[in-house]
Chains A and B, each alone.
Chain A
């Protein structure tokens, strides 16, 4: 799909519009490559005009031209050919692989041919996207696709996104390390990406180094992901494309076993025998093995995983219509996505999206464009917290002998006065099975992304573009603990409790661009001047009432006890000036420079403006006349240097001193409390990025590779700097500290086989990442809002800070720990003071990437994609809870893993769990359950069949593809449980507040696997 862009670009660059009135004729033909395979999407343009078309899926094209005109055929990676129109009505053309890929790189402000661009950039086309795992959020799809892009799925909740980190973690405060996402010129938050329909995406370009990110000034420090939506083709009849897929989804199989009823009761008896008195009331103690009571418990046992969870349904249908006339092109789409998720009895996720993109040549010198997309999504928000209300936690905690309903002596459910069965509170005191039905939370999001623009061409060289881009999210969230529901029964809310909360997020960008372009045989120069204004405003509310007369009444007007009713508003603005220049000499010597000056309302009055710049150089060695190595098609060296900023991670008004009136109530009236101590010198944090890169294509472009080495140095870190306690102000936002990320990225692709019928491509990428905290405010350790993570100078970012577990004492069965002095101690002999240590074990993988294989044989395709992480550590608290040593962590009433039987029993036992006799000695924050998070996962496997053209000739169908696809079907990992850990517990630390994704397992929505079948048809 890059080719569409190059087509449009070509059209735009065809500056002379000629109208002729000669007799036209229709020419048809097929564009193929040197092996005879059709080239879909090849550009066919009448030379010297803006008229052109593209070949269809089978390489066919139709164009009207005059005799004597010349047709230009071009395709990414192939040499362009020209044919003069004569008497022939059919022109078949074979393009030879070119000496370099001529992909177009979209930076958001401009586009540049891949051959001549000097930045570390990865471009992912629609064609590639369509081969990826169709999850409901695009950030998940980026994993393993681009070297240097680390992706951690937030969790498995339908519609949930991922944490994307480009070239490491660039900031130490929450919400500041994600890249900037730009959709058709409008920024969108990472967590809102699930509102974009994947089918509408034309291209995702990931900008990694300063040569391009510096053009985004104070927002680009952590990389930029530029998402472009699709456009139609000019002079082409409408193509209707219909896609549909259907499948099922389920929890990824657990790689461990929990106890069944018999085992659990045996365990309870063993614990009681060891003196765990809290087991005394449990059925393993109160019933005798072999007794009828015990047998009844076994007979009525419940598989809670099976009961609370289900096999969910995935469904997607989309229709897209695209095409164009001489002066207009359009793309229209409607799609519907459903993912019920794996919790039984709730709806899950559903999204309806629609989009219309139109470009229109209003005058010879004036082009107007509009891209508008709207989506509405519904999402159930099941409890994602580490307590008894969490359904996933319940699937582990509930002992299998605990039944769904309270049973009578005959094993039949007890019936309440209303004739309903009585739910079993279980030992946790909370009936999740009931709460799923009566205590429901859901969110509805309406997302509008709209961009309108006008381009005026002054002359051959100068043009001006004005655009406004809007990203507007209207989110409404409702949480109703119904009267008479589980929560109301358990904690007596007094007739239920309903919370409505919502937010309107508006992001508006108004952009003015003046473009100068000079192009001749030797020199190509493009200069862009930018003047931009960005406004971001949030309006939110929250209302809570209790005392509802009926579960059927959900609006606040029905409540009788108003507890909360508040609205909030904040605003952030940005004014930007910029000048960007790209130059190349005969495509051999390349240079780019950028300068941007950003003013942000969030900074101190004298520090609002910051300047960001970059320089980059490139050398296409293979284009030199002296370079004569026939098997080298492309050899390019490039280097860049630049500064980029970040302004996220602090409050919008942190530079100002403010007071608030709602936070410190006191009898007698309003009361004033200091809300923020202003930091008048507050400014952006700055990242200096150095990058050198090498690009090569060898052996007739059959082996393609890119490698980059980078150093990112971030200074003036935005931080809440703790003040002296005696100052009485807590922490004040400021700029202090420094971190460094450096790494090597390698991406390789090779065509193992390349013939007319059979191609086989292998590829992969990896990043080797290293990071260090160089300095912190006052050199002091910083404890972020995370679980036992500590920032210390000289350490890696996000290292776990725990006491080291030293195994079981074989003589006594007591757990042992290392003191800070590296000697081994028991719980009660640990030295006074701090025994937790940093061990270089971070949540951040130091090697990450993906690899794929793509085989195609006569229309049959088999594509597999793998992703991997290596070197990250996860504190596996979920495992800890089920190796409870009697009661540590949870209670002995909680079900346990079968492995919990393997505890120390007699002197000399090794390779065992500690004796439950010392259960309270587990209360140390130790690294006993800190595990490597390494994994290799087969993210996607797709088997597809594309019907040959001859089968379809007699039908109105032009292309037809059917496929079966599996996602996450295969995982290689030693981790206990699922190794893809992102959010630990979403209601404890939510997406936006997460500093250390993947730090700890804590019952967030698990990841899922799926199998789907689908078809794509166009006519």
Chain B
């Protein structure tokens, strides 16, 4: 009997110690945070909005909208696709498929950036989803920022994949992209028309303008930035007065001539409306690699400023010094692209990301006023930029000459700054490159393809086949 008691005792001891094992099956990660717990406090939402912004920029894991990826993104593609640059024979020929308009569904398009844009949109939508049940005092501003970012991401990709409303009469009825506002990882959305997409962009931006802080911390948009974006959106839509009204809300002065070089070396923040500090320790991303690597005299450029563009800058135009530098690649002098080259005495490609500048408000207004027939207001706006760039600025144009002057100034001001392809596209112009080579004096090898006629289907980039494979509702653009 005693034995039996012993045995029962042993048995009950060992079994008794392990009855609550089922609880052990509920494990939470140590290195990550349950999503539901990450959207509770006001600090959580501040963290979340920064996380949404971070999807704009370089990330080791994926191509982002403003990433320096060899595959091309906002930082490079609008110029690579246009007449502002020439492929360098000394570089790695990155993005050459884009440059030569040889993209197909199998590759060469900007699919990485497309995915990057929707990653940002998912982050914004996740934040907005959790914000519905949040009532902190920073809610309105955070929600506004999330909507503005969501609009920015959609606007950027629809500019590549869809037509631009003013581009042609059929544009608004043609397919744009899917405007995603759902926090749902399972969606397989269809494309919406350009008209619908632009309306949704305007809605998001209008709501954002109403609630966003005048000024937000460094690296975040404030009211002026959203207004500037809104003015560009209206301009693309051909809603001239709205574009002017929005631009008028941008009060940051255009950078004076003396500051222009410094703006691109991060020694001045004159005229900056939205920029992202790129400091090592936090970021320190080498974004200049998208244009070139190496020192001034041992340059490995991917692209150089086109000979044509270089010559368009007048001798007294400060932008020539600010945007272009004379480098040496494989022993030949070349017109290097300077905007992302580096801070003073540096060529490491680490400079702040400049997304929006005040000069655009003036040039948007100039173009809008011109289209409304108000040439004097257009000239005023145009001169607001020109007087801060030249020592003896051109002036006094009228009619078509004024229109062309506005367009030229936009090209000169925003060369290598994410606009040229879209401008040519919305103006319905051809892309025409000169047959000058890649050397500083126009000698050397020209780009292979020199002309993309107006109306070409290639103005609307193809969706990657893998994108279509994953989303059966995604319809390819005509021509591919």
The contact of B53 among A533, A573, A671, by CB within 8 Å, is A671
Q: How far does the alpha carbon of A673 sit from the alpha carbon of B31 in the complex, in Å?
A: 13
The contact of B185 among A656, A664, A672, A727, by CB within 8 Å, is A727
Contacts A512-B18, A669-B46, A674-B123 given; indicate if A568 touches B31 (C-beta within 8 A).
Answer: yes
Find out whether the CB atom of A599 lies under 8 angstroms from the CB atom of B470.
Answer: no
Residue A659 is within 8 A (CB to CB) of chain B in the complex: yes
Hey, what's the 0/1 contact readout for B44-76 against A, CB within 8 Å counting as 1?
101110110111010101100000000000000
- Partner-contacting stretch, out of A420-428, A718-726, A873-881, A963-971: A718-726
The contact of A725 among B61, B219, B279, B467, by CB within 8 Å, is B467
Closest to A458 in B: B7
Hey, what's the 0/1 contact readout for B27-54 against A, CB within 8 Å counting as 1?
1111111111010000010111011011
CB distance from A605 to the nearest CB of B (A): 8
- Partner-contacting stretch, out of B113-121, B316-324, B325-333, B396-404: B113-121
A residues 532-576 in Cβ contact with B at 8 Å: 533, 535, 568-573, 575
Find out whether the CB atom of B53 lies under 8 angstroms from the CB atom of A726.
Answer: no
A residues 831-852 in Cβ contact with B at 8 Å: 832-834
Residue B431 is within 8 A (CB to CB) of chain A in the complex: no
Hey, what's the 0/1 contact readout for A177-199 against B, CB within 8 Å counting as 1?
00000000000000000000000
A residues 670-710 in Cβ contact with B at 8 Å: 670-678
Closest to A574 in B: B25
Find out whether the CB atom of B15 lies under 8 angstroms from the CB atom of A656.
Answer: no
Find out whether the CB atom of A466 lies under 8 angstroms from the CB atom of B106.
Answer: no
Q: How far does the alpha carbon of A1004 sit from the alpha carbon of B231 in the complex, in Å?
A: 58
The contact of B27 among A652, A729, A732, by CB within 8 Å, is A652
- Partner-contacting stretch, out of B168-176, B186-194, B253-261, B292-300: B186-194
Contacts A456-B10, A672-B50 given; indicate if A667 touches B24 (C-beta within 8 A).
Answer: no
Contacts A601-B24, A664-B51 given; indicate if A674 touches B126 (C-beta within 8 A).
Answer: yes
Q: How far does the alpha carbon of A667 sit from the alpha carbon of B470 in the complex, in Å?
A: 34
Hey, what's the 0/1 contact readout for B334-353 against A, CB within 8 Å counting as 1?
00000000000000000000
Closest to B45 in A: A672
Contacts A575-B21, A670-B50 given; indicate if A659 touches B35 (C-beta within 8 A).
Answer: yes
Q: How far does the alpha carbon of A674 sit from the alpha carbon of B25 in the complex, in Å?
A: 23
Q: How far does the alpha carbon of A464 sit from the alpha carbon of B38 in the complex, in Å?
A: 47
Residue B276 is within 8 A (CB to CB) of chain A in the complex: yes
Q: How far does the alpha carbon of A519 sit from the alpha carbon of B447 in the complex, in Å?
A: 89
Find out whether the CB atom of A652 lies under 8 angstroms from the CB atom of B189.
Answer: no
Once A and B bind, how many residue pairs between them come within 8 Å at the CB atom?
199
Residue B5 is within 8 A (CB to CB) of chain A in the complex: no
Residue A510 is within 8 A (CB to CB) of chain B in the complex: yes
A residues 777-799 in Cβ contact with B at 8 Å: 778, 780
The contact of B122 among A605, A672, A729, by CB within 8 Å, is A729
Find out whether the CB atom of B51 lies under 8 angstroms from the CB atom of A673.
Answer: yes
CB distance from B464 to the nearest CB of A (A): 8
Q: Which residues of A contact B180 (CB under 8 A)?
A: 726-728
Find out whether the CB atom of B26 lies under 8 angstroms from the CB atom of A601.
Answer: yes
Q: Which residues of A contact B126 (CB under 8 A)?
A: 674
CB distance from B459 to the nearest CB of A (A): 20
Find out whether the CB atom of A664 lies under 8 angstroms from the CB atom of B24.
Answer: no
Contacts A656-B34, A672-B50, A832-B104 given; indicate if A667 touches B277 (C-beta within 8 A).
Answer: yes
Most chain B beta-carbon contacts within 10 A, residue among A456, A464, A673: A673
Residue B268 is within 8 A (CB to CB) of chain A in the complex: no
Contacts A664-B51, A672-B44, A673-B123 given; indicate if A533 touches B185 (C-beta within 8 A).
Answer: no
A residues 630-677 in Cβ contact with B at 8 Å: 652-653, 656-661, 663-677
Find out whether the CB atom of A671 lies under 8 angstroms from the CB atom of B106.
Answer: no
Hey, what's the 0/1 contact readout for A590-611 against B, CB within 8 Å counting as 1?
0000000001111001001000
Q: How far does the alpha carbon of A570 sit from the alpha carbon of B190 in the complex, in Å?
A: 39
CB distance from B424 to the nearest CB of A (A): 26
Most chain B beta-carbon contacts within 10 A, residue among A454, A600, A601, A726: A726
Find out whether the CB atom of B219 lies under 8 angstroms from the CB atom of A668.
Answer: yes
Hey, what's the 0/1 contact readout for B5-17 against A, CB within 8 Å counting as 1?
0010011001100
Find out whether the CB atom of A466 lies under 8 angstroms from the CB atom of B55.
Answer: no
Find out whether the CB atom of A535 lies under 8 angstroms from the CB atom of B24.
Answer: yes
Find out whether the CB atom of B185 lies under 8 angstroms from the CB atom of A732.
Answer: yes
Find out whether the CB atom of B282 lies under 8 angstroms from the CB atom of A570.
Answer: no
Q: Which residues of A contact B479 (CB under 8 A)?
A: none
CB distance from A479 to the nearest CB of B (A): 20
Contacts A657-B34, A658-B35, A723-B186 given; indicate if A667 touches B25 (C-beta within 8 A).
Answer: no
Contacts A599-B25, A601-B24, A660-B33 given; indicate if A723 touches B277 (C-beta within 8 A).
Answer: no
Find out whether the CB atom of A673 lies under 8 angstroms from the CB atom of B54.
Answer: yes
Residue A365 is within 8 A (CB to CB) of chain B in the complex: yes
Contacts A365-B7, A723-B470, A725-B471 given; indicate if A668 touches B30 (C-beta within 8 A).
Answer: no
A residues 701-749 in Cβ contact with B at 8 Å: 722-730, 732
Find out whether the CB atom of B30 lies under 8 angstroms from the CB atom of A667.
Answer: no
Q: How far does the alpha carbon of A665 sit from the alpha carbon of B51 in the complex, in Å?
A: 8
Residue B469 is within 8 A (CB to CB) of chain A in the complex: yes
Find out whether the CB atom of A672 lies under 8 angstroms from the CB atom of B118.
Answer: no
The contact of A456 among B11, B118, B123, B217, by CB within 8 Å, is B11
Find out whether the CB atom of B47 lies under 8 angstroms from the CB atom of A669.
Answer: yes
CB distance from B3 to the nearest CB of A (A): 6
Q: Which residues of A contact B185 (CB under 8 A)?
A: 677, 723, 727-729, 732
Find out whether the CB atom of A724 lies under 8 angstroms from the CB atom of B471.
Answer: yes
Residue B184 is within 8 A (CB to CB) of chain A in the complex: yes
Residue B196 is within 8 A (CB to CB) of chain A in the complex: no
The contact of B120 among A366, A454, A658, A728, by CB within 8 Å, is A728
The contact of A653 among B18, B29, B118, B187, by CB within 8 Å, is B29
Residue B131 is within 8 A (CB to CB) of chain A in the complex: no
CB distance from B373 to the nearest CB of A (A): 41
Q: Which residues of A contact B219 (CB under 8 A)?
A: 666-668
Q: How far does the alpha carbon of A659 sit from the alpha carbon of B184 in the complex, in Å?
A: 15
Most chain A beta-carbon contacts within 10 A, residue among B51, B55, B126, B471: B51
CB distance from A879 to the nearest CB of B (A): 27
Closest to A533 in B: B21
Q: How far does the alpha carbon of A666 sit from the alpha carbon of B32 in the complex, in Å?
A: 18
Q: Which residues of B contact A570 (CB under 8 A)?
A: 29-31
Q: Which residues of A contact B14 (CB under 8 A)?
A: 454, 466, 512
CB distance from A577 to the nearest CB of B (A): 10
Find out whether the CB atom of B38 lies under 8 angstroms from the CB atom of A659.
Answer: yes
Q: Which residues of B contact A653 (CB under 8 A)?
A: 27-29, 32
Residue B355 is within 8 A (CB to CB) of chain A in the complex: no
Q: How far does the alpha carbon of A834 sit from the alpha carbon of B31 in the complex, in Å?
A: 41
Closest to B31 in A: A568
Find out whether the CB atom of B54 lies under 8 angstroms from the CB atom of A661.
Answer: no
Q: Which residues of A contact B120 (CB under 8 A)?
A: 728
Q: Which residues of B contact A666 (CB under 8 A)?
A: 50-51, 53-54, 57, 219, 282-283
Those 7 A-B pairs whose CB atoms lie nearest each other, nearest first: A728-B122, A728-B118, A671-B50, A724-B471, A658-B32, A672-B51, A664-B54
25 of the cross-chain contacts (CB-CB < 8 Å) are: A466-B14, A512-B14, A531-B15, A533-B18, A533-B21, A535-B24, A575-B24, A657-B36, A664-B54, A665-B283, A667-B219, A667-B276, A667-B279, A671-B54, A672-B44, A673-B54, A723-B186, A724-B467, A725-B467, A725-B471, A726-B178, A726-B188, A730-B115, A780-B470, A833-B104
- A residues neighboring B (CB under 8 Å): 365-366, 454, 456, 458, 464, 466, 510, 512, 531, 533, 535, 568-573, 575, 599-602, 605, 608, 652-653, 656-661, 663-678, 722-730, 732, 778, 780, 832-834
- B residues neighboring A (CB under 8 Å): 3, 7, 10-11, 14-15, 18, 21-22, 24-36, 38, 44, 46-48, 50-51, 53-55, 57, 59, 61-62, 104, 106, 111, 114-115, 118-123, 125-126, 177-178, 180, 184-189, 217-220, 276-277, 279, 282-283, 467, 469-471, 474
Please give 18 more A-B residue pairs, beta carbons under 8 A apart, in addition to A678-B35, A727-B185.
A365-B7, A533-B18, A568-B31, A602-B27, A658-B33, A659-B38, A665-B282, A668-B50, A671-B48, A673-B51, A677-B185, A723-B185, A724-B188, A724-B474, A725-B115, A730-B115, A833-B104, A833-B106
